[in-house]
Structure formats: structure tokens, C-alpha cells
């Protein structure tokens, strides 16, 4: 027997349909809000920097790419708690695993003999700004040359880093103002105080200057360096400039260029 359809039944059915539609609208609104939230969070994630500065982020990425390309050149110094990247002629750029470990959070490690042969008297350098390590053997039994070191203290804050890339990220995050970008040269420059800089290319192989060490010449000249005797040392003298390729004024400098990608 068929069920009789009444006006009252139709009305009740309509009310049920309306309630169902209302629930569907509410569900749709909740879903829309959820999607919007995800989009906002995703956008925020895309724009959030990992060092606090866009230039530092990009410089970090370029430097990491260099180290990843030559992993055999990366090492770790247990005693100093330093990561290091060795350059083709034996110099190194080093960065600390933990900024509280010592005062050399960043360091340019250079061969001392070429500069000594050009007249530099190590004993006349400011011992608060320079370190000298005589030739010897490290803990791995590797012979080391006489080294001149330019250290730079970023912070004394205790850090627990995870690997070389995270260590460098934390250093840049502690002071992102250390790094600048030279658009004309397509180089990042990390300033280590007193005119010292480490530069690296945005793209490996872009030109012969994949990495560069720069030192202020004045303190070295005052300690006996004769810039006319730099030939054959790997270093070249660069006169002061009012505008160093768009990066502002620069003092007299000595510069060493490293070609990594040949």
C-alpha cells in the first residue's frame, strides 16, 4: 500500500531539506576558511627567511652550493669546533660550530710565507686582530705550513648547530648585516672587520673569481709588507677607490682570487 503524501509531510520534508542545505553551506564555509588558512600559512612560509635577511639567505644558498660541489674540501677541526673549506692553494675559510667556543667565529686562514717573503714582519701585527700559527702537524698527521689568520668574533651566544650549513646559517642569522651583494660582480661579500672580506660567486664558473680573500693593506704595510714585492705571492695590490664597482668606497687592499671551477 502506497504511503499517502500530505501537505504537512511536504512541509516537514522542505524543512529537512532546508536544514540539510544549511549544514552544507556551513560545511562549505568551514572548508573555505581552512583552505584560506593553509594558503596564508603557505605564503608566509614562502616569504619567511631563514637568517632574517633576504640577501643573507641568498648568500648562504650560494655558499652552500660551492661547498656541496667540492665536499672533499670541507673538513672539521675538533679542537676549535670549526668547519673549514680549503681553497686550491692551501688557504681556508673557516666558520664556527658554536659561537661560544672561542672568539674566532669566522676566520680567513692564509699562507704566511708569501707575505713574509714580501717583507711582512709578523711580530709587528696587532695580536688582537691577527693570529700566527707556525708550521706543524695536525691531529690527523697532516703537515701544516706557517699560517696567518684573520679571526672575527660574531657573538658569544651558545649555539647547538646541526652540520656545516646550519652552523653558517646561525652565524649569518646572528648578524645578517655582515653580508652584502655586489650586483655588477655577482658576488656576495662577508665582512670580517678591519677591511677584511671573504667573497664568493653567485654562480660557480661565472668568471675566474669563484672566491676572493680581501685584506686591508694599511695594517700589513705598517708591519713591513712591501706591495711592490707581491709578485709571485698570489696576492695583488688594489688601490683605494671612491666607488668599488658599485659597493661604495674601499681602502687600499691586497686581494687573492681563487678559481674553483676550471
One-character DSSP codes across 216-250:
EHHHHHHTT--GGG-TTSS-EEE--BSSSTTS--B
Asked whether residue 134 falls in the same domain as residue 188, the answer is yes
Asked whether residue 83 falls in the same domain as residue 127, the answer is yes
Query: What burial letters (b/e) apply to 183-213, b meaning 16+ CB within 10 Å?
Result: eebebbbbbbeebbbbbbbbeeeeeebbbbb
Range of the domain at 144: 54-258
Asked whether residue 101 falls in the same domain as residue 6, the answer is no
Asked whether residue 222 falls in the same domain as residue 101, the answer is yes
Q: Does position 22 have pLDDT exceeding 90, yes or no? A: no
Question: Please, what is the average pLDDT of the chain?
Answer: 83
For residues 163-176, average pLDDT: 94
Q: Does position 234 have pLDDT exceeding 90, yes or no? A: yes
Asked whether residue 179 falls in the same domain as residue 216, the answer is yes
For residues 17-22, average pLDDT: 45
Asked whether residue 41 falls in the same domain as residue 65, the answer is no
pTM confidence score: 0.79
Asked whether residue 65 falls in the same domain as residue 41, the answer is no
Asked whether residue 134 falls in the same domain as residue 68, the answer is yes
Asked whether residue 40 falls in the same domain as residue 78, the answer is no
Given pLDDT bands bounded at 50, 70 and 90, which one contains residue 135?
very high
Domain count across the chain: 2
d(CA 10, CA 45): 52
Asked whether residue 243 falls in the same domain as residue 209, the answer is yes
pLDDT at 103: 85
Amino acid at each position: 500500500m502506497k504511503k499517502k503524501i500530505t501537505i504537512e509531510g511536504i512541509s516537514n520534508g522542505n524543512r529537512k531539506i532546508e536544514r540539510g542545505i544549511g549544514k552544507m553551506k556551513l560545511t562549505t564555509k568551514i572548508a573555505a576558511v581552512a583552505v584560506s588558512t593553509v594558503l596564508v600559512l603557505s605564503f608566509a612560509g614562502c616569504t619567511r627567511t631563514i637568517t632574517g635577511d633576504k640577501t643573507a639567505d641568498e648568500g648562504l644558498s650560494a655558499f652552500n652550493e660551492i661547498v656541496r660541489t667540492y665536499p672533499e674540501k670541507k673538513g672539521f677541526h675538533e679542537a676549535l669546533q670549526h668547519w673549514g673549506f680549503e681553497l686550491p692553494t692551501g688557504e681556508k675559510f673557516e666558520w664556527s660550530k658554536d659561537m661560544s667556543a672561542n672568539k674566532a667565529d669566522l676566520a680567513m686562514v692564509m699562507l704566511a710565507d708569501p707575505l713574509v717573503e714580501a717583507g711582512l714582519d709578523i711580530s709587528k701585527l696587532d695580536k688582537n686582530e691577527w693570529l700566527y700559527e707556525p708550521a706543524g702537524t695536525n691531529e690527523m698527521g697532516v703537515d701544516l705550513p706557517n699560517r696567518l689568520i684573520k679571526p672575527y668574533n660574531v657573538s658569544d651566544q651558545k649555539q647547538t648547530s646541526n652540520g656545516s650549513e646550519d652552523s653558517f646559517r646561525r652565524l649569518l642569522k646572528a648578524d645578517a648585516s655582515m653580508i652584502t651583494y655586489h650586483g655588477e660582480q655577482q658576488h656576495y661579500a662577508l665582512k670580517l672587520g678591519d677591511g677584511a672580506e671573504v667573497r664568493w660567486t653567485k654562480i660557480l664558473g661565472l668568471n675566474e673569481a669563484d672566491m676572493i680573500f680581501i685584506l686591508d693593506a694599511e695594517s700589513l704595510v705598517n708591519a713591513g709588507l712591501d706591495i711592490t714585492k707581491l709578485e709571485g705571492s698570489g696576492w695583488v695590490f688594489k688601490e683605494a677607490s671612491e666607488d668599488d664597482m658599485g659597493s661604495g668606497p674601499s681602502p687600499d687592499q691586497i686581494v687573492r682570487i681563487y678559481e674553483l671551477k676550471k
